[in-house]
Amino acid sequence: MSEAREYKYVGTRSIRPDGYDKVTGRANYGADLSLPGMVWGRVLRSPHAHANIRSIDTSKAEAYPGVFSVATFADFPDSARDVIDLARNCLAEDKVLYHGHAVAAVAARTVAIAEEALQLIEVDYEVLAPVMDVRDAMLADAPVLHADMFTGGLAETPDTASNIAQRMEMSKGDVEAGFAEADVIVEREYYSPTVHQGYIEPHACTVRFDESGQSMIWCSTQGHFDVRANTAKILNMDLGSLKVIASEIGGGFGGKTVVYLEPVALTLSRKSGRAVKMIMDREEVFMASGPGAASRNLIKIGARKDGTITAMKARLCFEAGAFRGSPMGPGCMTVFTPYDVPNQYVEGYDVVVNKPKVAAYRAPGAPQAEYAAEMAINEVAAELGIDPIDFRLQNAAKEGTQALYGPTLKAVGLVECLEAAKNSPQYQTALAENQGRGLAAGFWFNIGGLSSVRINMNPDGTGTIVEGSPDIGGSRASMALMAAEELGLPSERLKPIIGDTENLPYSGTTGGSRTTFATGMAVVEAAQDVVRQFKERAAALWNVTPEQVEYTDGVASNTSGDDKLTAAEICAQAERTGGHISGTGNINARGAGPSFAVHLADVEVDKDTGKVTVLRYTAIQDAGKAVHPSYVEGQYQGGAAQGIGWALNEEYIYSKDGLLENAGFLDYRIPLASDLPMIDTIIVEVPNSFHPFGVRGVGETGIIPPLAAVGTAVSEAINVRLTDLPCSPPRVLKAIHDNA
Amino acid sequence: MATVIFSSELQRLTGEPRTEVSASVYRDLVAELASRYEAVHADDLMAMAVAIDGEIIHDPLLEQVGPGSEVHFLYKIEGG
């Protein structure tokens, strides 16, 4: 349990260990490994959003000069049926379910030959009507994607197939009684579109299948242990015969927690006897990886004149894409969590549509759900004539609040974030004509889970921290700082690296804002193991017991004499005192502390064009303890930038036939540095008592508030309540003209 | 005795909002619930996350459950 104390290394701004390699181009990403004799894999993708596959004839492609192998779903073993949705998403079996769905793959001497060979694969499609929107998909007469999908979570399992995979509900108190008490009720439906995480680095891998049991995958991933697990399941391989190495990663945000290319590449490698490299181009990334889910969410909130919220109700409908598994569950669990309201009811639906299967996107489910709730909260506050910060302070969740999903919150920092917002320079700044201000809160649970670390001490007293969590946001630097704090050694003498799946026991995927928390705890455990060994070795040298040795600031002292030894001196003699010193930490971390955030957005709207300019932006969030403040601020700013893009411009645009029309960064417009002002950050620290340093994960919460902060700001600027995202120029202009 | 509080979804299987269980290890608590409620299956509960006294734990098995502990079953949360 953490207590407030002064730290020597934790909380400092050390130079990032990966910085030199990244700015000089030395860093090795997913596409950067080449192997002797390697060939290139490319994928044939569906030109239709929804179609049965009557037949696939690959014979001409197989015979094409320069082709080494061709793969279809038929090449997957029966074990793939245990993870059938995942396998079918890698290669379609008898149906294509979205524009760009992988149908077959070719490995050839060059990319050009592979592309030519793809054109020779003959696929006989029976085109079906697509369903592209959650409302349409839920209709009784909607085209059904899966004949064997029957809605779960109902009192009785229906006997008619549906696009609704799952229904869920949560409740506490009596919402109808709560609404009956209310003086003001706001009820609206909000829409947030399909969006992409926008990572700059596409999916890529280089693989080599080895029949002697030494197969290897090098790939860009947030979780190489799960790449191993899922690939092994699909291809019926032992975990011990497959090594996965995580490359440096150019962004993930949840989108690289799934396998797409790896099982296909390994199949091509097995069939060809060659190493295979596969890289998605940008169009493929948009069409055929895992975007963030679209949703339509109905929110109803009631409050008394005195500002007390009496009831909150939500109906959340999430698009899962082609296969079940939207983030509907977390959406239901987070939607009203910032508020201590006794009467709540939430109903959620997980619905399939003819779009790529969604993947996680930074606090999955929460941005969509909390966008709707926060917009409604702001409208209720406005109806009551109460300042939106004061309204939230009056109803804020705090220690002792029972969340709708069950547990009672421990100490959390929402109130502190709200107070920081109220006192911020931005909130004191006056607005001019055509300008609007919006504020929103956000909540994400954060998770713990499995992490493994080993710290190897070298004879000169330097150390290597081998951890199993790919670094997607600066966690390596934080690991070095936490190890330094425990070992009493400068972080510059401790080198953090990411071990492959053969170096360490299983570590969970980097995501869920778990890494600095959970892997950090494993680092602390490993460092404490090293300190224990330091004491034992010193005791042996001094002929005392370990209990008679103190270790502080890198120096061991004999409490019953004057002897002292530095860590380096102990390490120098390690060979003679029992062998080199190595500490391990393997944990299933529990007690992840949630992180609340509050954001402020000031915008100006050009009423002739509908263009929105963000003038000022402040991101305030509870980090528990910022191990490396620069990285924490970077997470706040990055989440804000992504959320602003989601609010203002980003959406997948489909034709009436279900074909994706904007599969590129030119037409899928994410914010550039020139689009945004400096995003000011305020780090609130309400320590998480379950972590040695008080850490809370921070990577995800920051994307949640921008949607409603910007949506409200735009609404205020044009004096029209907007409900649908993005607030792109055409939508804003239409809203202005419709309400003129 | 630990107090197990059921979500609205689990209440459809148990018929009641909460119950008391005498078990000191999570695995035994799950087994007791499965034996008490016909519609509740141990495998389904073990696939969920759990909050014990406010601490959320994924993949629990041998966690201690103290007398007076409050237990909530949760859907597993994954992140991005």
Surface of A (348-367) touching B: CB under 8 A: 359-364
Give the residue from B9, B50, B56 with the most A CB atoms within 10 Å of its CB, the best one to mutate.
Answer: B56
For A402, which DSSP code? Answer: B
> CB of B47 within 8 Å of any CB in chain A?
no
Average pLDDT over residues A695-707: 97
- Does the pLDDT of residue A4 top 70, yes or no? no
> CB of B5 within 8 Å of any CB in chain A?
yes
* Closest chain A residue to B58, measured at CA: A449
- Give the pLDDT band of residue A211 (cuts 50, 70, 90): confident
Neighbours of A329 (CB within 10 A): 24
Asked if A604 and A434 touch (Cβ cutoff 8 Å), the reply is yes
> CB of B8 within 8 Å of any CB in chain A?
yes
Nearest chain B CA: its distance from A405 CA (Å): 7
Asked if A178 and A343 touch (Cβ cutoff 8 Å), the reply is yes
> Inter-chain contact A588–B78, Cβ cutoff 8 Å?
no
Distance of CA A730 to the CA centre of its chain: 30
> Inter-chain contact A446–B79, Cβ cutoff 8 Å?
yes
Assign residue B66 the CATH number of its domain: 3.10.20.30
CA B38 – CA B45 distance, rounded (Å):
13
If one counts the domains in chain B, the total is 1
Candidate from B7, B51, B57 with C-beta closest to A170: B7
**pLDDT tens across A576-631, in order?**
999 999 999 999 999 999 999 999 999 999 999 999 999 999 999 999 999 999 99
**pLDDT tens across A273-318, in order?**
999 999 999 999 999 999 999 999 999 999 999 999 999 999 999 9
Q: Which residues of B touch A225 (CB under 8 A)?
A: none
Mean of all residue pLDDT scores within chain A: 97
> CB of B58 within 8 Å of any CB in chain A?
yes
Average pLDDT over residues A483-493: 97
Q: Where in the sequence is the domain holding B35, given as residue range(s)?
A: 2-74
- Does the pLDDT of residue A166 top 90, yes or no? yes
Would you state the pLDDT for residue A635?
97
Q: Which residues of B touch A700 (CB under 8 A)?
A: 79-80
Would you state the pLDDT for residue B56?
87
Q: Which residues of B touch A406 (CB under 8 A)?
A: 5, 7, 51, 72-74
> CB of A157 within 8 Å of any CB in chain B?
no
Q: For a pLDDT cut of 70, what percent of chain A falls above it?
A: 99
Would you state the pLDDT for residue B76?
85
Q: Which residues of B touch A591 (CB under 8 A)?
A: 55-56
Is position B37 within any domain?
yes
Nearest to A691 by CA among A523, A543, A566: A523
> Inter-chain contact A333–B5, Cβ cutoff 8 Å?
no
Would you state the pLDDT for residue A5?
75
> Inter-chain contact B79–A447, Cβ cutoff 8 Å?
yes
> Inter-chain contact A405–B72, Cβ cutoff 8 Å?
yes
Asked if B18 and B3 touch (Cβ cutoff 8 Å), the reply is yes
> Inter-chain contact B80–A361, Cβ cutoff 8 Å?
yes
Nearest chain B CA: its distance from A394 CA (Å): 24
- Does the pLDDT of residue A265 top 60, yes or no? yes
Average pLDDT over residues A77-92: 96
For A100, which DSSP code? Answer: T
**pLDDT tens across A108-161, in order?**
999 999 999 999 999 999 999 999 999 999 999 999 999 999 999 888 889 999
> CB of B26 within 8 Å of any CB in chain A?
no
> CB of B74 within 8 Å of any CB in chain A?
yes
> Inter-chain contact A361–B75, Cβ cutoff 8 Å?
no
Asked if A322 and A89 touch (Cβ cutoff 8 Å), the reply is yes
Is position B79 within any domain?
no
Average pLDDT over residues A633-652: 98
CA A245 – CA A264 distance, rounded (Å):
17
> Inter-chain contact A257–B78, Cβ cutoff 8 Å?
yes
- Does the pLDDT of residue A566 top 80, yes or no? yes
Nearest to A610 by CA among A447, A508, A727: A727
Nearest chain B CA: its distance from A675 CA (Å): 25
Helix (H) or strand (E) holding B46: helix B42-46
Is position B80 within any domain?
no
> Inter-chain contact A447–B73, Cβ cutoff 8 Å?
no
Would you state the pLDDT for residue A3?
54
Helix (H) or strand (E) holding A107: strand A102-108
Residues of chain B with pLDDT under 50: none
**pLDDT tens across A646-696, in order?**
999 999 999 999 999 999 999 999 999 999 999 999 999 999 999 999 999
Nearest chain B CA: its distance from A406 CA (Å): 6
Q: Which residues of B touch A170 (CB under 8 A)?
A: 7-9
Q: Are strands A344-352 and A164-172 parallel, antiparallel or unpaired?
A: antiparallel
Candidate from A253, A359, A407 with C-beta closest to B56: A407
> CB of A410 within 8 Å of any CB in chain B?
yes
Average pLDDT over residues A69-74: 98
Residue A354's contacts (CB-CB under 8 Å, 6 or more residues apart) are A49, A50, A97, A98, A99, A130, A131, A132, A145, A322, A658
> CB of B51 within 8 Å of any CB in chain A?
yes
Would you state the pLDDT for residue A156?
86
Would you state the pLDDT for residue B12?
86
Is position B36 within any domain?
yes
Number of cross-chain residue pairs from A and B with Cβ atoms under 8 Å apart: 94
Average pLDDT over residues A544-569: 97
**pLDDT tens across A405-438, in order?**
988 999 999 999 999 999 999 999 999 999 999 9
Q: Which residues of B touch A514 (CB under 8 A)?
A: 79
CA A529 – CA A584 distance, rounded (Å):
7
The structure tokens 């239901």 sit at A332
Nearest chain B CA: its distance from A363 CA (Å): 6
Residue A515's contacts (CB-CB under 8 Å, 6 or more residues apart) are A451, A469, A471, A472, A473, A475, A697, A699
> Inter-chain contact A168–B9, Cβ cutoff 8 Å?
yes
Give the residue from A257, A343, A590, A700 with the most B CB atoms within 10 Å of its CB, the best one to mutate.
Answer: A590
**What CA–CA distances, in Å, run from A460 to A56, A277, A440, A580?**
62, 40, 51, 11
- Paired tokens of A601: 């957005």
Candidate from B8, B55, B80 with C-beta closest to A690: B55
CA A605 – CA A739 distance, rounded (Å):
15
Q: Which residues of B touch A704 (CB under 8 A)?
A: none
Asked if A49 and A143 touch (Cβ cutoff 8 Å), the reply is no
- Does the pLDDT of residue A1 top 80, yes or no? no
Average pLDDT over residues A179-186: 98
Hey, what domains does chain A have and what are their CATH numbers?
Answer: 19-26+448-589 (3.30.365.10), 39-128+201-250+256-288 (3.90.1170.50), 298-442+594-738 (3.30.365.10)
Q: Which long-range contacts (CB under 8 A, 24 or more apart) does A2-6 make?
A: A2/A625, A2/A687, A2/A688, A2/A689, A2/A690, A2/A691, A2/A692, A2/A693, A2/A694, A4/A687, A4/A694
> CB of B75 within 8 Å of any CB in chain A?
yes
Q: Which residues of A touch B70 (CB under 8 A)?
A: 407-408
**pLDDT tens across A369-393, in order?**
999 999 999 999 999 999 999 999 9
Would you state the pLDDT for residue A214?
87
